[in-house]
Amino acid sequence: MSDILLLDWAIMAVSLFNTILLTWLGLTVFFNSERRDWGVWIAAGGLLLGALFFVSHSAIIGLGLTNLTWRNMIFWWTAGLIPAIMLPYAWYIIILWYAGYWHEPQNRLRQRQKRWLYLTTAMLLLGLLSLFAGVLLLAIPSSQLNSLRGFIRYSIAGIPLLAVGYSIYVLLCIGLALDALRQPVASRRVMGQVARRRAQPWLASASLALMVVSLLVTGVVLWIVQDARQRTFFEIYFEAQLTIAILDLLISSIIAVVIVLLGRAVVSYEVFTGKTLPRGGLKRQWRQAVQLAAGYGIAIGGTIAVQLRPLYSLLLTAMLMTFFFAMVSWRTFAEREKYIARLRPFVASNRLLEQLITQADPQEVDFITPFYALCADVLDARVAYLAALGPMAPLVGPPISYPASAQPLPDLPTIIKRFTGAENEMISLDADEFGAAIWAIPLWSERGLSGVLLLGEKSDSGLYTQEEIEIARVISERLIDTHASAEMSRRLMEIQRQRLAQSQIIDQKTRRVLHDDILPDIQAALIALSGVASNGQAGNEKTDRALKLMTDAHKQISDLLHDMPTTTAPEVARLGFITAFQRIVENDFSMVFDEIRWEISPEAEKAAQTLPTLTAEVVFYAAREVVRNAAKHGRGGVAERPLTLTITMHHTDQLAITLTDDGVGLGNSDTSGSGQGLALHSTMMAVVGGEVVVETAVHQFTRVTLNVPITPAPASASNA
């Protein structure tokens, strides 16, 4: 101690501050690491080793160097010198591991630093041997201290060899660590390269600060060891007590800055834990740890500096711990309330049931507001896009962009191909290609990939945290699922209303036609036929008239039967999809088309046989609707126009059924319908996991493709 109250108070406060933060960082890296490989063990061990050094430092300062017994002095000096020797090397190894030195057998970093690693390792072993030799010499009776002085007197150019070696060793470790940070190996983490680039200034600043510390320590060691050749360390200490205290405070303060810089890199970018994304909760806990270390260090350092009685120090410690625990609890509840307030737009009901029942406009179902709240309040993203993929895309519609002025999003097939199926996968994007978006997050459902969330940079240019990405993924999946479900329900309700109205119209039309048209014609025909035998030429005319009436009645009944729906589901279940579909096309539509072409691959035929009954029926009715539309509207009202239907089926990863007609194209016929039938079947296809893709060209063709997923049979079933 320097016997100056404020100086001693500051030294103890900084020492306790460093002890607490190094312990917290070491345990945090160890407990929160994704894989506890040897690099994590060294990183955590190095931080805890630094904490051990400041434990020794605090003990020596608190007890007073002159109040230590000989054995206590040997113990605490050894506890402090071992970390002092090992920490520069540990920092070097940690930076090498973080920079990817051991990721590949041969890389530029390894080729550049391999020999230097061997050299610093040898110097570490030599330093530890020298320390143990010195401890053994200190352990002998005081009459043998001349042997220790002899050990120190070995020199180069008048400078003690021990001081020269330690100085070169420390400077080498810190300088080589800076070189490794300057040119690291490519990271294997998804966001590792970005995290490494953004963490590099913090780690480089920490290394530069450690370089300053090493230079100061080197100067102090040279001074003390050089002076120790003529007198004892206690004589040096008593003569320069104030100078040593100031240097101690300066070096400890610089190390405190190093710890803060290192902690920022650890919690903000997860530089040592191996996590894909940093966690926001860890950053909040780091701020609380810094506040705890600063408050505790200042308070307890003051009690030690003024030599307060242990009972009062204990009571103050208990009060401080209680105060900080209450503060942490308060902040936890405050963060929870803030978190719930942010999530309120996403858990609020959209009142879909009421809107469906009251036949509200589907555009009143608001999905833009929660998505904008997600982007602005939770993610703080500059640009974001939410796009549905696969069977959900026809139901959800075009991608949603944030903000509304964001540039249009290009096609997404290139992104889809890059997803491997990992649930927590993220891929980086070219911002110029994807509307300023730099990250793509896949969205999954039980059927597979359901959409993608594209994110640009954060407004503060920081990294997205693990909590933010998990919330964004869950909310985006829910928005797509809810949007698709609402649209599907709306379509089904609308189709059902139209079907009910059409059924009533057909029933009324059937009764009217039978009662007002067909029955009078049949009665007139019977009356006319009854007088055929008694009238010669007139009888023949009546016969012709009766035949005409019967023919017209037959046509009207035939048209009614043709318009009424047929029930063929049992045929699909019994015959299979392909056979049942071929029969209905040949029986009902062979006279409508000039030619019907079939192209069915053997793989498609086998795949169709594995379709579940419900899926086969949905696909059957959808395909029949496409054929009926082609038959009814393909000629565009011109009976003389030739019309050919081509039906192809092939199977790769799914069953694809393509129905192509060379008619006038979709929407180019005077007899075009409302499109509700195709909308209904598109919805039903989405229910079973399929999709309907429509392509058309004016007066050239209409091509409708039904994509049906094929679920492979279980291995046990196939083996049986």
Residue ranges of E strands in 249-388: 384-388
**Nearest one of 490, 584, 40 to 272, comparing CA atoms:** 40
Pairing mode, strands 427-428 and 439-445 = antiparallel
> How far is residue 600's CA from residue 201's CA, in Å, rounded to a whole number?
63
Cα angle at 19 between 17 and 23, to 5 degrees?
Answer: 120
**Nearest one of 388, 385, 367 to 451, comparing CA atoms:** 388
> How far is residue 380's CA from residue 712's CA, in Å, rounded to a whole number?
42
Per-10-residue mean pLDDT, the chain, length 720: 79 92 91 80 89 86 69 68 84 87 80 89 85 63 47 54 78 89 75 74 88 81 66 68 86 92 84 71 85 90 83 84 83 75 66 54 65 86 87 79 79 69 70 78 81 86 80 87 78 66 64 67 66 58 69 66 53 84 87 91 91 86 90 85 93 91 79 66 80 88 90 43
**Nearest one of 280, 456, 460, 480 to 375, comparing CA atoms:** 456
Residue ranges of E strands in 82-232: 155-156, 159-160
Residues in a beta bridge with 156: 159
Contact call for residues 708 and 615 (beta carbons, < 8 A): yes
**Nearest one of 668, 673, 655, 556 to 608, comparing CA atoms:** 655
Contact call for residues 403 and 415 (beta carbons, < 8 A): no
**Nearest one of 407, 396, 555 to 490, comparing CA atoms:** 396
330, HSE (Cβ side, Cα atoms, 13 Å)? 7
**Nearest one of 412, 443, 440 to 426, comparing CA atoms:** 440
Contact call for residues 378 and 483 (beta carbons, < 8 A): no
pLDDT at position 143? 43
* Residue owning tokens 């945290």: 465
List the structure tokens of 609: 């046989």
φ and ψ at residue 605, rounded to 5 degrees:
-65, -40
Residue 351, classed as helix, strand or coil, is coil
> How far is residue 417's CA from residue 685's CA, in Å, rounded to a whole number?
23
Report CA dihedral (245, 251, 256, 258) to the nearest 10 degrees: 180
Cα torsion 435, 439, 440, 441: sign: negative
> How far is residue 110's CA from residue 192's CA, in Å, rounded to a whole number?
20
Report CA dihedral (102, 106, 107, 112) to the nearest 10 degrees: 90
CATH class of segment(s) 569-713: alpha beta
What count of other Cβ atoms lies within 10 Å of the Cβ of residue 60? Answer: 20
589, HSE (Cβ side, Cα atoms, 13 Å)? 24
pLDDT at position 716? 37
> How far is residue 363's CA from residue 361's CA, in Å, rounded to a whole number?
5
Task: For the chain, give every domain's residue range.
Answer: 5-279, 362-484, 495-563, 569-713
**Nearest one of 659, 653, 658, 648 to 710, comparing CA atoms:** 653
**Nearest one of 648, 650, 646 to 602, comparing CA atoms:** 650
φ and ψ at residue 695, rounded to 5 degrees:
-130, 145
**Nearest one of 184, 188, 54, 210 to 108, comparing CA atoms:** 184
Q: Which residues does 122 contact at the CB level (< 8 Å), separation at least 6?
A: none
pLDDT at position 57? 84
> How far is residue 341's CA from residue 324's CA, in Å, rounded to a whole number?
25
Contact call for residues 275 and 32 (beta carbons, < 8 A): yes
Pairing mode, strands 159-160 and 384-388 = unpaired
Predicted TM-score (pTM) of this structure: 0.61
Contact call for residues 301 and 16 (beta carbons, < 8 A): yes
- Burial class of residue 397, CB neighbours in 10 A (0-12, 13-18, 19+): middle
The residue type of 59 is: A
Inter-CA distances, 87 with 46, 81, 84, 260, 540, Å: 6, 10, 6, 17, 121
> How far is residue 431's CA from residue 457's CA, in Å, rounded to a whole number?
10
Residue 431, classed as helix, strand or coil, is coil
Query: Length of the chain in residues, anyone?
Result: 720
Q: Which residues does 448 contact at the CB level (< 8 Å), separation at least 6?
A: 390
Strand order of the sheet with strand 701-709? 595-600, 644-651, 654-661, 701-709, 691-697
Contact call for residues 618 and 657 (beta carbons, < 8 A): no
Residue ranges of E strands in 396-488: 400-402, 427-428, 439-445, 448-455
pLDDT at position 601? 93
For domain 5-279, give the CATH number: 1.20.1070
List the structure tokens of 354: 């009421």
* Residue owning tokens 């009645």: 553
Q: Which residues does 667 contact at the CB level (< 8 Å), separation at least 6?
A: 696
Q: Which residues does 621 contact at the CB level (< 8 Å), separation at least 6?
A: 681, 684
> Would you say domain 362-484 falls under CATH 3.30.450.40?
yes
List the structure tokens of 601: 């691959």
Contact call for residues 332 and 287 (beta carbons, < 8 A): no
Contact call for residues 648 and 703 (beta carbons, < 8 A): no
Residue ranges of E strands in 524-653: 595-600, 644-651
> How far is residue 553's CA from residue 531's CA, in Å, rounded to a whole number?
21
φ and ψ at residue 33, rounded to 5 degrees:
-70, 145
Q: Which residues does 42 contact at the CB level (< 8 Å), separation at least 6?
A: 90, 93, 94, 97
What count of other Cβ atoms lies within 10 Å of the Cβ of residue 470? Answer: 14
> How far is residue 198's CA from residue 267's CA, in Å, rounded to a whole number?
12
